[in-house]
């Protein structure tokens, strides 16, 4: 069953080739055997998943098809609220916290007959690019365990790449789905902002965060996105009226489609094999009939600074509620209310999170608000307007996911300048609220995966999926699995 796509697996269950319990048990067994090496999971919900499997089996046997992914196990990033299952955000601050409600996306997954088998490792509170800020240590890369799987959704990408889950959910604030997908050789979709409810997602930066699917191929990811997308009255920023419905027809040609290639992005790529693999992907689109044109991406030198100011400011505000009083970590040494606040936050948050909180508080202070945060918001508007003008010329923008390759363990700390630039190509997409897809397109000289991204107009996620499907139908990179897995 591990060589099946998620859609094929659900079809096989409905055809009685496997029972739901057999499928869930097989994946839990795989986690128990492999994950000691990879560290992709924080929590495995074995008993709840097997009980849920019996319920879904009964529904299927009664003739209720539920959805094209009914009976399929799924792993969730550990910042997505799950009732009765610990949700830690990979932080000491939330160790032992068990939510009393499900995130909207979890409700939709359960309505579709999918089964949550566990919660995946991540950077603490989704702040990082390597996964190494997790208090549980980093999720490792299934292709080479001396390398990280990426951040912040590294556990979700590693689980999909190592066949520990057919599908997973991650969250993307500045590239946190696309970066680990590129590092692990899997496919991921960062949906348009407002297409998927954020209710129940522990917020990093509210105006940037978006939940999205991760899987081995674009068809599985699209099927999952069609389940979790759609309006939600509990999230005022979720503005899409209906869930996406993706065309399943196979299109062999892209005649008339215009694809923009940001020249300055490729000039900034650190490794030649990354540049070569992404340009080879562009050639596939050209061979399929698309017209390619180079251009200079505006504000490239400023976008990352704008992202850092806004994301840290919003993180500072969002994380202020973790104060040691209502829930979460409380210092045992605190004797006064002031000490509860100070010691609980000092001991409960890791270094990187505290650094972002401090910087965010600085740019929001009355003295520096106009100089930093207000200007960042103005620059964000300019970046969004620049994308709008680009999409008057192009249907799709194609670029590398990142100028770097999967980091070695420890490289995040030893070379912070290199890792700081890891999301220079992805963060602008979040600032503009656009959809993007990360796809595997080759391998470096060490055999590590390389990915590229397609960027589209807001709420034209269907066009991105259609374009991505054509590429995967012409190539086989998405069928490869890492030797370490």
> Which value, to the nearest 10 degrees, does the dihedral of the CA atoms of residues 162, 411, 422, 93 take?
80
pLDDT, tens digit, for every residue of 292-344? 999 999 999 999 999 999 999 999 999 999 999 988 899 999 999 999 999 99
Neighbours of 287 (CB within 10 A): 11
Mean pLDDT of the region 54-61 = 96
pLDDT of 64: 82
What mean pLDDT is predicted for residues 82-103? 97
Among positive and negative, which fits the CA dihedral 168, 169, 173, 178? Answer: positive
Question: Count of CB atoms within 10 A of residue 64's CB?
Answer: 12
Of the listed 21, 91, 149, 152, which one is catalytic? 152
Note whether 214 and 188 are within 8 A (CB). Answer: yes
State yes or no: pLDDT of 397 exceeds 90.
yes
Look-up: residue for tokens 């505006």? 298
CA distances for 233 relative to 93, 172, 227, 241, angstroms: 29, 22, 16, 11
**363-386 pLDDT, tens per residue?**
999 999 999 999 999 999 999 999
Q: Report d(CA 24, CA 327) in Å as an integer.
A: 32
Q: Please identify which of the residues 176, 182, 192, 344 carries the catalytic annotation.
A: 176
Answer yes or no: pTM beyond 0.95: yes
Query: Taking all residues of the chain, what is their mean pLDDT, rounded to a whole number?
Result: 96
Closest among 145, 194, 116 to 35, alpha carbons compared: 145
CA distance 430 to 306: 11
Rounded Cα distance between 176 and 198, Å, is 15
Q: Is 36 a residue of the active site?
A: no
Return the higher-pLDDT residue of 64 and 130. 130
Which entry of 34, 77, 108, 356 is annotated as an active-site residue?
77
Is there a cis peptide before residue 101, judged by omega within 30 degrees of 0? Answer: no
Contacts of 76 (CB under 8 A, 6+ apart): 82, 106, 116, 118, 119, 120, 156, 168, 169
Look at residue 417 and tell me whether its pLDDT is greater than 90: no
- Phi/psi class of residue 334: alpha, beta or left (left: φ > 0; alpha: ψ in -120 to 50)? beta
Q: How confident is the model at residue 91 (pLDDT cuts 50, 70, 90)?
A: very high
Query: Of 430, 473, 472, 480, whose CA–CA distance to 455 is shortest?
Result: 430
What does the alpha-carbon distance between residue 218 and residue 69 come to, in Å, rounded to a whole number? 14
77 is catalytic: yes
CATH superfamily placement of domain 6-254+401-479: Amidase signature (AS) domain (3.90.1300.10)
What is the arithmetic mean of pLDDT over 239-243? 94
- At residue 418, the pLDDT reads 74
- By CB atoms closer than 10 A (0-12, 13-18, 19+), residue 453 is buried
Annotation marks residue 192 as catalytic: no
Residue 461: alpha-carbon gap to chain centroid: 15
Q: Which of 147, 146, 184, 178 is nearest to 165 (CA)?
A: 184
Evaluate if residue 483 carries a pLDDT over 70.
Answer: no
The tokens describing 202, both together, are 């522990």
CA distance 140 to 288: 36
138 pLDDT exceeds 80?
A: yes
Summarize pLDDT for 2-21 with one digit per residue, the tens.
999 999 999 999 999 999 99
- Look at the alpha carbons of 341, 346, 347, 353 in this order and tell me if their dihedral is positive or negative: positive
* Residue 440, beta-bridge partner list: 451
Asked if the model's pLDDT at residue 445 lies above 70, the reply is yes
């Amino acid at each position: 069953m591990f060589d099946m796509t998620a859609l094929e697996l659900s079809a096989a269950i409905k055809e009685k080739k496997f029972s739901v319990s057999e499928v869930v048990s097989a994946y839990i067994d795989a986690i128990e055997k492999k994950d000691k090496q990879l560290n992709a999971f924080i929590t495995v919900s074995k008993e709840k998943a097997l009980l849920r499997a019996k319920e879904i089996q009964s529904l299927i046997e009664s003739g209720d098809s539920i959805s094209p992914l009914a009976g399929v196990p799924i792993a969730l990033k550990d910042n997505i609220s799950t009732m009765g299952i610990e949700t830690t955000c990979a932080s000491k601050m939330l160790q032992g916290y068990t939510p009393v409600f499900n995130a909207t996306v979890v409700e939709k997954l359960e309505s579709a007959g999918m089964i949550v088998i566990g919660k995946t490792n991540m950077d603490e509170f989704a702040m990082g690019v390597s996964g190494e800020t997790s208090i549980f240590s980093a999720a490792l890369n299934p292709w080479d365990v001396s390398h990280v799987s990426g951040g912040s959704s590294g556990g979700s990408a590693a689980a999909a790449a190592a066949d520990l889950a057919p599908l997973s959910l991650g969250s993307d604030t500045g590239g946190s789905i696309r970066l680990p997908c590129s590092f692990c050789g899997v496919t991921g979709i960062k949906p348009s902002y407002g297409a998927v409810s954020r209710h129940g997602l522990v917020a990093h930066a509210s105006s940037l965060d978006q939940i999205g699917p991760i899987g081995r191929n674009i068809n599985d990811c699209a099927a999952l996105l069609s389940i979790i997308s759609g309006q939600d009255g509990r999230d005022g920023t979720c503005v899409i009226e209906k869930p996406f419905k993706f065309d399943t027809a196979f299109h062999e040609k892209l005649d008339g489609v215009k694809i923009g290639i940001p020249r300055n992005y490729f000039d900034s790529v650190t490794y030649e094999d990354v540049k070569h693999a992404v340009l080879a992907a562009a050639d596939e689109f050209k061979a399929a009939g698309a017209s390619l044109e180079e251009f200079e991406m505006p504000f490239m030198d400023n976008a990352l600074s704008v992202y850092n100011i806004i994301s840290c400011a919003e993180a500072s505000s969002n994380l202020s509620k973790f104060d040691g009083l209502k829930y979460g970590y409380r210092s045992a040494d605190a004797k006064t209310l002031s000490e509860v606040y100070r010691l609980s936050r000092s001991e409960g948050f890791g270094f990187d999170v505290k650094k972002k909180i401090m910087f965010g508080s600085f740019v929001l202070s009355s003295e520096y608000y106009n100089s930093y945060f207000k200007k960042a918001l103005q620059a964000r508007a300019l970046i969004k307007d620049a994308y709008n003008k680009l999409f008057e010329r192009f249907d799709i923008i194609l670029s590398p996911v990142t100028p770097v390759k999967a980091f070695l363990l420890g490289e995040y700390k030893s070379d912070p300048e290199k890792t700081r630039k890891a999301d220079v190509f992805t963060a602008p997409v979040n600032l503009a609220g656009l959809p993007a897809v990360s796809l595997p397109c080759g391998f470096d000289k060490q055999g590590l995966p390389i990915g590229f991204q397609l960027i589209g107009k807001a709420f034209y996620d269907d066009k991105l999926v259609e374009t991505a499907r054509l590429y995967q139908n012409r190539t086989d990179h998405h069928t490869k699995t890492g030797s370490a897995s």
